[in-house]
Each structure stands twice: as C-alpha cells, then as structure tokens.
C-alpha cells in the first residue's frame, strides 16, 4: 500500500504545492480544508486518480471539526505516514482596535490550537505503529515580532516552541516532529503584501525543498536557505538596532484595510 500524507490547508498555496509534491512521490493524499470544492477542482485538474485521494471538510479553528476529519481519514485510508499542519491565516492587527482582538483570537485558534488539534487524533495510532512524521508549518515571522503583525508573529513563535516541545515528548515513540519555517512564498497569503519580500520563492520550489527535509526527518528547517541566514541574524540583532531597521516599514494589512 502506498504511503499516506494528511495535509491541512490543501485548498491553496503551500498546501496544494505540498500535496502535488507528495503525489509525485507516490503518496496517497488526505486533503483537508474548508473550501472542499477548490480541492476537488484542483485534484481533477491535476488528474489525480480517484483511488489515491480523499477530501475532508474541516475547520481547524474548531477542534472537534479537524479531530473528526483526522479520525475519518484513519477510518477511510489508514494511519498517515506524514501529517502536515499547514492551514494558517496572516492578518495585520492593531491592539487599540476592539475588532482586532477577535482577529488575534482567530489567528491563535487557527495557527496554534488548530495545529495541536490536527496532530491529536494521529499520535496514539502512530505511536502504536512505531513511527510517522508530524510537520508543523511555522514562519520566519516567528523569530522576531514585526510591528503591526503581532498576532501572526506570536502565533508562529508559538508554533516553533510548541513543535520543539512535542518533538521531545514524542522522541521515544518513534514519531518525528518536523518544524518548517518558510520565508516569503508566492501564495494568496503574501500576494496582498505592500512591502518588499526578499528571496520570494515559488510554492512548488518550496514544496520540493520541504518534501526533502520531511523525508530526511529534519527537526527544523528554514526555506529558502537565504532566509535561514536572515533568521539567524534576526535572533542576534540587539533590540535597539532591530527597532531602527523596522521603523517606518509598511505594515501587514488589517481586515478593514483595502
Ligand atoms: N506564503 C508565505 O510566504 C508563508 C510564509 C511563512 C509561513 N507560511 C505559512 O504557510 C501556511 C500556508 O500558507 P499559504 O501561504 O499557502 O496561504 P494560503 O494560500 O492563504 O492558504 C491558507 C490555507 O489555510 C487554510 N485555512 C485557513 N484557515 C483555515 C481554517 N480555519 N480551517 C481550515 N483551513 C484553513 C485555507 O483553506 P480554506 O480557506 O479552504 O479552509 C488555505 O488552504 C500557513 O500556515 C502560513 O502561515 C506562509
């Protein structure tokens, strides 16, 4: 039986590119998203055969919804070899605006609670089998806090720490936890950005590198590598210099901004 990958956020961008890369490597696909019609038309446009994929409708910000999708996947297709918690949102916020407090809550519900709830149903089954990989999609934005982007940066910092904790917890079980931090990837999530995006990468190129890191069982990987250097430098930069470099930089759009 071909290997199986479960991917959230499979209706767009990085999730779709990863799905295609795994399909090319001979994996069966378990594809989760809210917009299942998008996934269905993508699968048929790619000519993926009916017996090698299933689509699951799930909202990762509602734990029961994504947990049910994970259980449905195991019942229909078996225990995945790889689970990619990729679904995520990125919206600018202003803490002085009441409406943005709800945006912060939705960001944490999607990017953080959603990730834990995506992994949850698979852990016991993977541990009994003695192996598997849980992949968390973080971001270089999780390394330092960018002005106007506090919800997203905080959520991705939490992804990095959460996945590191999980990696240690699951070490003895044979389950690998892989943290992938993309730099700037050309997807609908970044297409509205109004600032310069260095080393912008096409999703399929990103997916190729991420696939290799996952197959190699890397614990942590920044893609592209140039942004890995940027991430290392960002960690070292003293606050005063960091604040100066970031001053005046255009901010991520808030929901109410055109
Ligand atoms: N693009 C970049 O430069 C970049 C950089 C660093 C990190 N990342 C991370 O990479 C991941 C994918 O981003 P992308 O660039 O591919 O963005 P995207 O094109 O906007 O896709 C986001 C995906 O997440 C899904 N999603 C969002 N909220 C969801 C929810 N509540 N329940 C279920 N699915 C949900 C969407 O599916 P539905 O709307 O159909 O549910 C969609 O498939 C995110 O975690 C993002 O933070 C991206």
Q: Which residues are 134's β-sheet partners?
A: 83, 177
Domain ranges for the chain: 4-246
Catalytic residues: 152
Pocket flag, ligand 1, residue 117 (CB < 6 Å)? no
In the chain, which ranges are E strands?
Answer: 4-8, 28-33, 53-57, 82-85, 132-137, 175-182, 220-223
pLDDT tens per residue across span 169-193? 999 999 999 999 999 999 999 998 8
- C-alpha of residue 86 to centroid of ligand 1, in Å: 6
As a dihedral over the C-alpha atoms of residue 183, residue 188, residue 189, residue 195, rounded to 10 degrees, the angle is: 70
Q: What is the SS3 assignment for 49-76?
A: CHHHEEEEECCCCCHHHHHHHHHHHHHH
Give CATH for domain 4-246: 3.40.50.720
pLDDT tens per residue across span 111-122? 999 999 999 999
pLDDT tens per residue across span 145-164? 999 999 999 999 999 999 99
Using CB atoms within 10 A of its CB, is residue 130 exposed (0-12), middle (13-18) or buried (19+)?
exposed
Residue 30 CA: distances (Å) to CA of 35, 48, 79, 96, 185: 14, 12, 10, 41, 23
> CA-CA distance, 109 to 129, in Å (whole number)?
30
Phi and psi, residue 131, nearest 5°? 175, 170
Query: Of 6, 13, 180, which is best to mutate to test ligand 1, by the most ligand atoms within 8 angstroms of its C-beta?
Result: 13
- C-alpha of residue 76 to centroid of ligand 1, in Å: 25
Query: Of 14, 39, 58, 195, which is best to mutate to test ligand 1, by the most ligand atoms within 8 angstroms of its C-beta?
Result: 14
What mean pLDDT value characterizes the chain? 97
pLDDT tens per residue across span 52-93? 999 999 999 999 999 999 999 999 999 999 999 999 999 999
**Helix pair 13-24, 203-215: axis angle to 10 deg:** 60
Q: Which residues are 29's β-sheet partners?
A: 5, 53
């Amino acid at each position: 039986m071909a290997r199986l990958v479960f991917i959230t956020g499979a209706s767009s961008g990085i999730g779709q590119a990863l799905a295609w890369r795994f399909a090319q490597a001979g994996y069966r696909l378990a594809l989760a998203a809210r917009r299942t019609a998008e996934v269905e038309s993508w699968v048929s446009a790619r000519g993926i055969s009916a017996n090698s994929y299933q689509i699951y409708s799930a909202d990762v910000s509602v734990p029961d919804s994504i947990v049910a999708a994970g259980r449905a996947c195991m019942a229909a297709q078996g225990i995945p070899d790889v689970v990619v918690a990729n679904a995520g949102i990125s919206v600018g916020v202003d803490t002085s605006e009441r409406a943005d407090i709800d945006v912060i809550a939705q960001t944490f519900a999607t990017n953080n609670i959603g990730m834990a709830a995506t992994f949850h149903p698979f852990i016991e089954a993977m541990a009994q089998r003695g192996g598997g990989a849980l992949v968390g999609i973080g971001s270089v934005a999780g390394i330092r806090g960018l002005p106007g982007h506090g919800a997203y940066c905080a959520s991705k910092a939490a992804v990095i720490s959460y996945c590191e904790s999980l990696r240690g917890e699951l070490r003895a079980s044979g389950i690998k936890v892989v943290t992938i931090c993309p730099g700037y990837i050309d997807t609908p999530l970044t297409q509205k950005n109004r600032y310069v995006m260095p080393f912008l990468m096409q999703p399929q190129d990103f997916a190729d590198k991420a696939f290799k890191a996952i197959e190699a069982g890397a614990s942590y990987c920044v893609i592209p590598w140039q942004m890995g250097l940027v991430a290392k430098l960002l960690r070292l930069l003293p606050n005063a210099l960091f604040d100066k470099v970031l001053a005046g930089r255009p901010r991520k759009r808030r929901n109410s901004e055109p």
